[in-house]
Structure 1
């Protein structure tokens, strides 16, 4: 059995097959229980995948090496979000001033509160660096985390938790504040919840999805430009 696993891990086949199988299983399980909005399929898929890796005693580094082929698809998938942005361009132009006014502060707070809480709890520098980009979409967050000396594995865990939490809290906040504008809800989901929030926004409607794409993209750009610089200044 160990020899077979070693042979399969030498190629990307096993990692890709386990990832796709976990994703399909997660979608079917959620459909069976009524697809709750607070629980995206990727969360269930991640838990299933983690259980299988532990059961088969597969080291995460070996799995990640094989799954790197899937990571290559994140970039084109992110770029493809430009289509809904183009379709909603008239509405985006009408709101470009308030969007640009709130974006830098919101992106800063998204990074600062997680790092601040971890710092107060006595987390080591590597953990702090791993949490800084937890609200940025994965292709950009990986590069930021590697640049500032964080752990990509820990960052990916924070990324998943942040996306799930953003879906729940943005929806709850919108209901409590009486916000029904899909543009505002979508932008908040993309800014705070990256890809997971954007997927949920498209479930709300095309306008929410487009503004979520905008929020996710702009947060990634601002974070990629400012986070490494801010990290060096704080570290100095």
Structure 2
């Protein structure tokens, strides 16, 4: 029985079924806290605990899902190409927005953690919280951080950004489709982009662009900011 539960077909089915279940519950309830990702995570953890399956076995069995992340990111590039007209005359504003967003994300973590007396390894683990997971894990490891803490933080930021982001944008009366996409992609990476796509094709395309630009900018700025704070 354990061999069946730890097999690749079952684990792939578990991931897909849990997400579809989460989507169904979220669609029916319309409750923001019942986000499909939150529900699917809870279902997967519960099943893995019940079946006694460790994370390494789950990771190997569901490798196909991880592999598909690459093509999905490339697909965002095609969506951006279709909406390329919205970028004309906005290169400077987009670039400056990404720079400011990256700086605020890094510096706010350092200041808050320093005020609370948090140790350095935790600080560098939280610094790349607003970039996509592969880049965040790489930056965290190179800075002496804790990759597992970074991964959890990135997921939490993505979920909160996807849930709260649209509400904040509405309250601030932000109407620009480009601004909405930039905000969600820069602050909440992949999960923010998923929400941006729900808002519209332009928002989704710009949000996908923000993910890439935010990753590059954060990679460049983290070493510079750390040199200023830890001289």
Fold in common (TM above 0.5): yes
CA RMSD of the aligned region, Å?
A: 2.6
CA distance in 2, matches of 1:216, 1:124: 28
Q: Match for 1:31 among 12, 23, 27?
A: 27
Give the corresponding residue for 2:52.
Answer: 57
2:62 counterpart of 1:76:
no
Residue 142, structure 1, aligned to residue 155, structure 2: no
Which residue among 149, 157, 161 is the counterpart of 1:154? 149
In structure 2, do the counterparts of structure 1 residues 165 and 231 end up closer, same or farther at CA, with 3 Å as the change threshold? same
Give the structure 1 partner of residue 93 of structure 2. 98
CA distance in 1, matches of 2:201, 2:32: 17
- CA deviation after TM superposition for structure 1 residue 47, in Å: 1.9
Number of positions where the alignment pairs a residue of Structure 1 with one of Structure 2: 231
* 1:223 aligned residue: 218
CA shift in 2, pair 1:205/1:218, >3 Å: same
Task: Report the Cα distance in structure 2 between the residues aligned to 1:50 and 1:119, rounded to whole angstroms.
Answer: 33
Change (3 A) 1:131 1:92: same
Which stretches in structure 2 are left out of the alignment for 5+ residues? Answer: none
Equivalent pair of 1:40/1:196 in contact (CA under 8 Å): no
Deviation digits for residues 167-204 of structure 1 (CA, Å, limit 9, x no counterpart)? 34432332222212211111100110101110111101
TM-score by length of 2: 0.85
Is the Cα–Cα contact under 8 Å of residues 181 and 196 in structure 2 kept in the other structure?
A: yes
**In 1, Cα distance between equivalents of 2:119 and 2:93:** 37
For structure 1, list consecutive stretches of 5 or more residues without a partner in the other structure.
none
1:130 to 118, 125, 133: 125
Q: Structure 1-normalised TM-score?
A: 0.83
